[in-house]
């Protein structure tokens, strides 16, 4: 380059070096920021929130108890219906819809 031979520089740090160093520092900073944000996002995605999980377990336990109570109630009602039908099968058979089999074979 003819310019460099004509214009001598008394110092070792030119404008081009300053700009390239600036962009290099910005690039490294962006890489570090991206690494930190990626680590944070992956950590949050892989670890479950313990408080939320405890609440969900408690809700599930309560729902299981309610379902068990309802199953027991339905079982009792089924037994009562079968007992009533067995006791008065002739009277109830006239009132029951056609698809129901009150007299098992």
* pLDDT greater than 90 at residue 96: no
CB-based contacts of 92, cutoff 8 Å, min separation 6? 84, 85, 102
Give the whole-angstrom CA distance, residue 63 versus residue 59. 6
pLDDT digits (tens, 9 = 90+) for 70-93: 998 888 888 888 888 777 654 544
- Sole residue written with tokens 């006791």: 87
DSSP structural state of residue 98: T
pTM of the predicted protein model: 0.41
State how far the alpha carbon of 85 is from the alpha carbons of 28, 75, 77, in Å. 83, 15, 12
Q: What is the residue-averaged pLDDT of the chain?
A: 79
Higher pLDDT, 99 or 37: 37
Once rounded to an integer, what is the mean pLDDT over residues 21-46? 94
């Amino acid at each position: 380059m003819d310019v460099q031979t004509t214009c001598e520089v008394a110092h070792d740090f030119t404008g081009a070096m300053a700009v390239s160093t600036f962009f290099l520092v910005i690039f490294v900073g962006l890489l570090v920021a991206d690494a930190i944000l990626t680590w944070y996002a992956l950590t949050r995605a892989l670890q479950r929130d313990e408080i939320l999980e405890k609440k969900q377990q408690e809700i599930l336990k309560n729902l299981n108890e309610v379902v068990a109570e309802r199953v027991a109630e339905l079982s009792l009602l089924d037994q009562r219906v079968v007992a009533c039908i067995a006791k008065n099968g002739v009277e109830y058979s006239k009132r029951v819809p056609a698809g129901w089999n009150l007299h098992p074979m």
